[in-house]
Structure 1
Amino acid sequence: MKIVISELDWPDGAELLRRKGWEVRYDPEVWRDRTRLLAEVEDAAALIVRNQTSVDEELLERGHGLKVVGRLGVGLDNIDLKAASSRQIPVVYGKYANANSVAEYVVTAILSYCRPLFRASAEVREGRWDRKRNTGTELYGSSLGLIGLGDIGHRVAVRAKALGMKAIGYDPYVGAYDFAVTESGIRLAGLEQVLEEADFISLHIPLTKQTADLINEAALERMKPGAILINSSRGGIVNEHDLYRALKRSRIAGAFLDVLAQEPPDKEHPLLTLDNCWITPHIAGLTEQSQVRTSEMVASEVIRELEGTASLCRVALK
C-alpha cells in the first residue's frame, strides 16, 4: 500500500508505516503543488496532512483508493468532512497529542507579557539599566478568561490555577459539573461576562460559521483596556482588521497571535507594524515531544484503519 504524507511530519510515524512494508511517499512541500498532489493520491491508500493541505471534494475524488485520511493535529477546517463521509473515508486525528504544548504556549505568552525578560536582557547588552521600564506585573490574583473549555482549555486552567490566577470560562457545550469545570475551578459565565472581566483572554475553539469573526469590534470594545488577547486556536476567529484598530488606539493592551487568517501573512500586514502585537508562526502545538506523539499516534491510527480496525481517534462524520 502507498501512504502519502503531504506536510511536515516527524520521522517516527513514517517509520512505523514502513515497518509494515508499505510505501511511504513523504514530501512536506507537495501540498504547494496541487497538480502533483492530485497525481500522488490517485493510487494512495492513505493521506496524512497537517493544516495546509486542502482535502476537498476534488482531492478525495481523485484519490479513488483512499481508505483513510490522517490529520497531524486537531484542527479540521482544511478537511471537507462531508465529502469524506459521503465516500466513507474515515478521518483520524492526533487527539490530545499536542494539548500540553498548546497549554504551555498560552502560559508562556502570559508570562512573557508580565515579565519582559528578553527585552530587559537586550537592553542590558546595549548598556541600559532601566529597572522602572522593566518593572513587571504579578499574575497572582489576575483573571484568565477562557473561550472554549475542551481539553486544551482545561489544561490551561489547571496551569493558571497553580499560578494563583482565577479562571472564568465560556463554552455553550460545557455544564457546571463537567470535568473541565469541577477539576480546575473554572467559573462558568456568558461570553460577554468573560470579555468584560478577564485580564487575559485565551481562545480554544474551532473555526466554524458560528465562530468566524467572534472576536470583532464589538467584542474588543467589551474587553478591559489592560487586557491581553491570546489566540492559539484558528485564524479567522479574530477579525484582524478590528484587532488592528483596537491595538492601534490602545483599546486593549496587546495580543499574542499564533494563527492568522492567511499563513504566512503578507509582509505588509498591518498587525506586523504594531509593538503590542506578537505573532508567532503557528507553533503553539509544536514541541519535540508533542510532534513525536502526534506523528506516532496518527500513523498508528492510520494502520488500525488500513488493517480493518476502527480507530479510537476517528472524527465523527455526518
Structure 2
Amino acid sequence: MAPKVLISDKLSPTAVDIFKNRGIEVTYEPDLGKDKDKLAEMIGQFDGLAIRSATKVTDKLLEKADNLKVIGRAGIGVDNVDVPTATKKGVIVMNTPFGNSITTAEHAIAMMFAVARQIPAADVSTQAGKWEKNKFMGTEITSKTLGVIGCGNIGSIVAARGIGLSMRVVAFDPFLSVDRALELGVEKVELDELFRRADVITMHTPLTEKTRNIVDAAAIAKMKDGVIIINCARGGLVVEEDLRAALDSGKVAGAGVDVFVEEPAKDNVLFGAPNLVCTPHLGAATSEAQENVALQVAEQMADYLLTGAVTNALNMPSISAEEAPRLTPFAKLAEQLGSFAGQLTESGLKGVRLEYEGDVAEMNTRALTSAALTGLMRPLLQDVNAVSAPAIARERGINVEEVRREQRGAYENYIRLTVITERQERSVAGTVFTDGKPRVIQVKGINMEAELGTHMLYVTNEDKPGFIGRLGTTLGEAGVNIATFNLGRDTRGGEAICLVEIDEPASQDVLKAVNALPLVTQVKALAF
C-alpha cells in the first residue's frame, strides 16, 4: 500500500509532483494548516506531513496522528513543531537547513547596506520630491568589523560575504572549532569581545534558552557607540524594548529587523524608531529558496517513507539511501541484542557499551546504537522507539559508549552489547551471516549460535548429564513444541545456557516447572 502524505501549507507544485512520481499518494491542502480542527480530523490517515510555518504541530495534533512517521519542514526553523512530543511518538522531524541559507545570508547583507546607507528612508524622501541629500549621511562598510553571532550554515555565508566586502570578521559560536574559523578566515572570539569590537552585529543562531534575549540592554551597553544591529534569524534573540531605547538614544546607529517576537508584527515597539529598516520575515523569501526547500523536503520525506533513508532529521541519526538496505539487518540485530539484554536486566541501568567490529564498524553506528537502545529500554518503557531512545537514555543518565575496531576474531561482522547495572556487567553478542539473518553468537561470554524467534526460553543451568532430556520431557508434557534448541557452556561441568525457540508463549506454569528442575539456576521467557 502506497504511503500517504499531506501537504498542509503552500508548497511548490513541483514538490507535489515529486511525491506522485515516487509512487506516494499526496493530498495538497495549502490552507489546511490554518484550520487546526480540520487538520486534527484528517491527520490520522497520513504517514507524512509536509509543512512550512503556518501549520502548528502541537502535542494535541500529534495525539491524533496515529499513523504519522515523518514531518517535513520546508525551511530551517521548527519552532512550530513540538519536537519532544514527536520524538516520544517515534515521528521523525526533518528540515531543510541548506535550501535557503544563501537567500537568508543575502538578506542580512542587504539589510546591512540598507541601514548603513539609510536607503529606505532616502527612497521615501526622494520620491516625495524633497531631495534631502545632506540628511542621509551614510556609513562606509569597507574595513569595518562585522560581528557574526552563530557561524553555522547561514552565518558562515554571511562571514564570507563580509570578507568579500573587505570587512574584518569576528565570530562567536560555541561549536566553531579553531580549524573551521581559520578555514573561514574569521577570528573566533567570546561574546563580550564581539560586542566590544564589532561595528556591525548580525545574528544567525536558533532561538534557545541560551540565546533568548542575547542582545539586551546590558549587551548593548558593551557595544560601540553607533553600532549597527541586524537580526534576520529569530524573533526573541533581541529584547525589542531595549533595542528601541538604544535607537532613540543614538547608542545604536541603526537596525535591520526581519523577525519579531510576535508575528505577524502589526504593532511593535520598534516601529517608528530612527534609522530602523523592517521587513516581514523575508529572509527565505526568494523564488529560488522557496523552490529549493520544497523540493528538498519532498525528496527527503519520499526517501524515508520508501527506503528508510533519513536526511536532515532533528531527532534521528542520518541514514543515506545507499546504506539503508545494508544497514537494515544490522539494525535488526542491534535491536534484538538490546531486547535480549533488556528482558534479562532486573536492576538499575547505569550504562551501555556497544562494540562494533569488522565491516559493521564502518557503517552508521549511531543508527545501530539507536536501534540497540530501543530494544534495551522497550521492556521497561513500552512506548520507546528508535527516535526517542537516545533522548530517553540521556534524560535518565544512562551512559552510552560506542567502540569501533577492525576484525579480530572469526566473524567478519560482530556487535557486542554490554549492559552495566548497579550490580554487574552482562554482555550479549551477535552477527549477521550472508543469508542476512541476525544470530546471537555469545551470551555472558559463553559461545553459542542461535537465531532468535518470536517466543524463546532462556535457561541457565549447571552443565551435568541428563539435563537436556529432563528439560525436553518437561516441555513436552506441558504441550510446548520446540522449534529450535541452542546450547553453550563456559567449561565442562560449569555454567551452561540453553536458548529454546517455542511455538507459543510459555505460561507461568511452564516457567515454574522448568525452574523446579534440578540444575536450573534461572529461567526466563523472552519475546522478539
- Looking at structure 1, the residues matched to 123 and 85 of structure 2 have their Cα atoms a distance apart, in angstroms, of 52
* 1:8 CA drift (Å): 2.6
Query: What is the 5 A alignment of 1:17-36?
Result: 17-36=19-38
Q: What's 1:259 paired with?
A: 259
Greater shift, 130-139 or 37-46, is seen at 130-139
* 1:62 CA drift (Å): 0.7
Q: What's 2:279 paired with?
A: 280
Q: Map Cα deviations across residues 218-245 of structure 1 (whole Å, 9 max, x no partner).
A: 1122122211111111111111122222
Greater shift, 197-206 or 123-132, is seen at 123-132
Amino acid at match of 2:149: I
Q: Map Cα deviations across residues 231-290 of structure 1 (whole Å, 9 max, x no partner).
A: 1111111111222222222221122111111110243x2212223222211111121111
Kept after mapping to 1: 8 A contact 2:115/2:256: no
Q: What's 1:108 paired with?
A: 110
Q: Map Cα deviations across residues 72-98 of structure 1 (whole Å, 9 max, x no partner).
A: 111122222221221211111112111
- Describe the shift of the 1:128–1:277 C-alpha distance in structure 2 as closer, same or farther (beyond 3 A): closer
Query: What is the 5 A alignment of 1:224-235?
Result: 224-235=224-235
Q: Map Cα deviations across residues 55-111 of structure 1 (whole Å, 9 max, x no partner).
A: 222212211111110011111222222212212111111121111001111110111
Greater shift, 129-138 or 221-230, is seen at 129-138
Scaled by the length of structure 2, the TM-score of the pair is 0.57
Give the alignment's Cα RMSD to 1 decimal: 1.8
- Describe the shift of the 1:115–1:245 C-alpha distance in structure 2 as closer, same or farther (beyond 3 A): closer
Kept after mapping to 1: 8 A contact 2:115/2:276: no
- Looking at structure 1, the residues matched to 166 and 225 of structure 2 have their Cα atoms a distance apart, in angstroms, of 22
- Looking at structure 2, the residues matched to 159 and 142 of structure 1 have their Cα atoms a distance apart, in angstroms, of 13
Amino acid at match of 2:174: P
Q: What's 2:327 paired with?
A: none
Q: What's 1:183 paired with?
A: 183
Q: What's 1:73 paired with?
A: 75
Kept after mapping to 1: 8 A contact 2:87/2:315: no
Kept after mapping to 2: 8 A contact 1:6/1:26: yes
Q: What's 1:295 paired with?
A: 294
Q: What's 2:416 paired with?
A: none
- Looking at structure 2, the residues matched to 287 and 218 of structure 1 have their Cα atoms a distance apart, in angstroms, of 35
Query: What is the 5 A alignment of 1:59-98?
Result: 59-98=61-100
Kept after mapping to 1: 8 A contact 2:120/2:277: no
- Looking at structure 1, the residues matched to 192 and 203 of structure 2 have their Cα atoms a distance apart, in angstroms, of 14
Consecutive unaligned residues of structure 2, counting only runs of 5 or more, are 317-390, 392-528
- Looking at structure 2, the residues matched to 120 and 236 of structure 1 have their Cα atoms a distance apart, in angstroms, of 29
Higher RCO (C-alpha 8 Å, min separation 6)? 1
SS at match of 1:4: strand
- Looking at structure 1, the residues matched to 9 and 270 of structure 2 have their Cα atoms a distance apart, in angstroms, of 27
Kept after mapping to 2: 8 A contact 1:200/1:228: yes
Amino acid at match of 1:303: A
Scaled by the length of structure 1, the TM-score of the pair is 0.93
Query: What is the 5 A alignment of 1:1-318?
Result: 1-178=3-180, 181-267=181-267, 269-317=268-316, 318=391
* 1:121 CA drift (Å): 4.6
- Describe the shift of the 1:134–1:254 C-alpha distance in structure 2 as closer, same or farther (beyond 3 A): closer
More strand by share: 2
- Looking at structure 2, the residues matched to 26 and 151 of structure 1 have their Cα atoms a distance apart, in angstroms, of 30
- Looking at structure 1, the residues matched to 265 and 131 of structure 2 have their Cα atoms a distance apart, in angstroms, of 35
- Looking at structure 2, the residues matched to 159 and 304 of structure 1 have their Cα atoms a distance apart, in angstroms, of 34
- Describe the shift of the 1:238–1:10 C-alpha distance in structure 2 as closer, same or farther (beyond 3 A): same
Amino acid at match of 2:296: M
Greater shift, 286-295 or 120-129, is seen at 120-129
- Looking at structure 2, the residues matched to 59 and 281 of structure 1 have their Cα atoms a distance apart, in angstroms, of 28
Q: Map Cα deviations across residues 6-40 of structure 1 (whole Å, 9 max, x no partner).
A: 22322221221122344433333322221011112
- Describe the shift of the 1:144–1:303 C-alpha distance in structure 2 as closer, same or farther (beyond 3 A): same
- Looking at structure 2, the residues matched to 113 and 273 of structure 1 have their Cα atoms a distance apart, in angstroms, of 14
Amino acid at match of 2:294: S
* 1:117 CA drift (Å): 4.3
* 1:136 CA drift (Å): 2.7
Amino acid at match of 1:82: P
What is the count of residue pairs matched by the alignment? 315
- Looking at structure 1, the residues matched to 195 and 119 of structure 2 have their Cα atoms a distance apart, in angstroms, of 28
* 1:315 CA drift (Å): 1.8
Greater shift, 47-56 or 181-190, is seen at 47-56
* 1:125 CA drift (Å): 3.9
Greater shift, 63-72 or 4-13, is seen at 4-13
Kept after mapping to 2: 8 A contact 1:207/1:234: yes
Amino acid at match of 2:311: L
- Looking at structure 2, the residues matched to 277 and 145 of structure 1 have their Cα atoms a distance apart, in angstroms, of 19
Consecutive unaligned residues of structure 1, counting only runs of 5 or more, are none
* 1:122 CA drift (Å): 4.4
